[in-house]
A and B are shown apart, each in its own frame.
Chain A
Amino acid sequence: MNITNLLRIALRALANNKLRGFLTMLGIIIGVASVITMLAIGQGSKRSIQEQIAEMGSNMIMIHPGNMERGGVRQGASDMQTLKLEDYKKLQTETRYLAAVSPSVSSSGQFIYGANNYPSSINGVATEYLEIRQLSVQSGEMFTDQDIQASAKVCLLGKTVVDNLFTGGEDPVGKIIRFNKIPFRIVGVLASKGYNSMGQDQDDVVLAPYTTIQKRVLAITHLQSIFCSALTEDLTEKASDEITQILRQDHKLKETDADDFDIRSQQELSTMLSSTTDLMTILLACIAGISLLVGGIGIMNIMYVSVTERTREIGLRMSVGARGIDILSQFLIEAILISITGGIIGVIIGVAASYGVKIIMSWPIFIQPWSVGLSFAVCTITGVFFGWYPAKKAADLDPIEAIRYE
């Protein structure tokens, strides 16, 4: 018996039992639709986190002092003074993989403007810091290299700080605010970036020349950290190695000495967060997969009923010349048709539901093409797997008994 005839027979059998076929299909439809929707939600949140990291600068590398021992005594991070201004200069001149380098020193305290005050921290950086953190100036302008050389008392404010200090809505550019009694002239306001994926307010920031903070606020000569950005995200690792090399040489560390600094890249953070969302995606997909399995069992159940109900038909087909393999393929194709049709409808509903979630709940979703292909393949396999046993039962019937079955 050829495949067209088999398909015709299977389609006719399904057409004779439309409601039953549809209810059986429903299990598969729900299974496939939920797999696709769950994966879309999982992948969507992964994407959105990756995008936020990219916004923060996915090629960003942070260098902190670390792991220094003095005579066997470990030092606390704030006491460590291993990062020097020379390190920053060296990195600037010797690097091949870095696009920008900026030192960073910060101090927290109270900002005062008129009757308003607001606690935050002031960050002493170089002009490259804007590029590294992907910040932009909304109004006014960035301080200049001359300001850095002169240790000028100028600053840029983030939106949160502006909102808290300038409650009257006046333009902060050109105004003088005070930080721990030191007056700073505001030269610019940063564009708002909102909250990042870890819930930190990225607008709660004040930037000033690092020299100003070093000399006039903290009275230190070392650096608290150095921010760099690699040329591209892919070069982050090479850049980190290069930094290690330069800093070790600069710090005159012996082969056996441990690094007295600590390098962290956004890529590591990105990997960590991705693995969290991946886990979530897997969990969601597992739950959805279980519903697909339940749908498959539904097919098996209904195919068993169908075989029993059509015992006489099977007997007749055998007596007019159907071989076991013909009967087996007939019922198998019926099961596969149910699961494939259910799969197609499930894909459509799953995609629609994903966009529904996006529109109604405004969650980020992303439908990965392979997730559609995968769930479709799984439901076809489900059809074959769960259709096999009932079909085998039908094929093994004794024609003599089947034809006289009441």
Chain B
Amino acid sequence: MSKSIIHLENIRRDFIVGDETVHALRNVSFSISEGEFVTIMGTSGSGESTLLNLLGCLDTPTAGDYFLDDVPVKLMGKAERAILRNRKIGFVFQSYNLLPKTTALENVELPLMYNPGISASLRKEKALKALESVSLQDRVMHKSNQMSGGQQQRVAIARALVNDPVLILADEATGNLDTRTSFEILVLFQQLHATGKTIIFVTHNPEIARFSSRNIVLRDGNILSDTLNTSILLATDSLAALPKEKD
């Protein structure tokens, strides 16, 4: 068994809405090892967004322990968690969240700007490498509003890769894309997985689970099922099976 990247122990997260307490997560425990491609699924309100926020160190649990790469997150303050996010996590959002009127290169450089240990030249070098790994080396100076949705999401993935994170967190990353582009993005994720990256992909779409190595399903704040996928579909095959687009 390889190294455990994520370790959750009896995680509970309560929200107080008015004078009512909402239990978003009731008692969640699991571990994710290095190199896994995990999909977390659940219907709206099952707690999957809360879990994502916790995993992404944007939020802290009400009770229970969370270790990210052996670092106990629960005791950390806001600023410390920001630094932790900067060094260990890459986010990919449904709506890309690129900076408007800003080039692909500058968007990808963004996380490194918040790392004072990285010089401007190293920053550019790393960003170019990340853009190359998502096959956007010829779109470096394109501005975010001059690119298609698929290209924008690839810039976002490059941005998530640029700081060499231990974990890539994708929140419904194909939600805004058409089928073909979705598969293209999934191909990219599978390629990243193949190079040993740990990926957590939160989605409502059960189809995506078939491309991952492990699937966790949440319901009402509890884990309903946690299954390893033995027959992983290849996104490249699905992409090839799609009817040819008319030009």
- Residues of A that sit less than 8 Å from B by CB: 1-2, 4-5, 9, 12, 16, 312-313, 315-326, 399-400, 403
Contacts and interface: CB of A to CB of B under 8 A. Distances in A.
B83 to A, nearest CB: 6
Contact of A1 (B53, B58, B99, B116): B116
B58 A319 contact: yes
A137 to B, nearest CB: 77
Contacts of B100: 16, 313
A393 B159 CA distance: 26
B18 to A, nearest CB: 18
Contacts of B59: 400
Contact of B159 (A4, A9, A320, A400): A320
A288 B159 CA distance: 48
B83 A321 contact: yes
A321 B97 contact: no
Contact of A321 (B99, B101, B114): B114
Given A312-B97, A316-B99, A400-B58, A322 B53 contact: no
Interface stretch (B3-11, B85-93, B234-242): B85-93
B22 to A, nearest CB: 15
Interface in B31-88: 53, 56, 58-59, 78-79, 82-83, 85-87
B202 to A, nearest CB: 13
Given A313-B99, A400-B53, 5 more contacts: A12-B102, A320-B110, A323-B79, A325-B79, A326-B82
Interface in B102-116: 102, 110-111, 113-116
A40 to B, nearest CB: 41
B111 A320 contact: yes
Question: Which of A2, A5, A320, A399 has the most B CB atoms < 10 Å from its CB?
Answer: A320
B235 to A, nearest CB: 26
Contacts of B115: 321
B99 A324 contact: no
The residue among B97, B113, B120 with the most chain A CB atoms within 10 A of its own CB is B113
Given A312-B97, A323-B83, A317 B110 contact: yes
Contact of A320 (B79, B91, B120): B91
A403 B156 CA distance: 14
Interface of B: 53, 56, 58-59, 78-79, 82-83, 85-87, 91, 93, 97, 99-102, 110-111, 113-116, 120, 159, 163
Contacts of B79: 323-325
Contacts of A12: 102
A323 B114 CA distance: 8
Contact of B101 (A1, A16, A399): A16
Given A325-B79, A400-B53, A403-B93, A319 B85 contact: yes
Contact of A403 (B86, B97, B101): B97
Contacts of B111: 320-321
Of A5, A12, A321, most B-chain CB atoms within 10 Å: A321
Most buried by A among B82, B116, B120: B82
A2 B56 CA distance: 25
**9 closest A-B pairs (Cβ-Cβ)?**
A321-B86, A320-B111, A321-B114, A323-B82, A323-B79, A316-B97, A5-B113, A321-B85, A400-B58
Nearest to A16: B101
Nearest to A318: B82
Nearest to A12: B102
Contacts of A5: 113
Nearest to A2: B116
A4 B116 CA distance: 11
A325 B91 CA distance: 21
A319 B116 contact: no
A320 B58 contact: no
A326 B114 contact: yes
Contacts of A9: 113
A399 B59 CA distance: 9
Given A1-B114, A5-B113, A326-B114, A320 B86 contact: yes
A226 to B, nearest CB: 78
Nearest to B101: A16
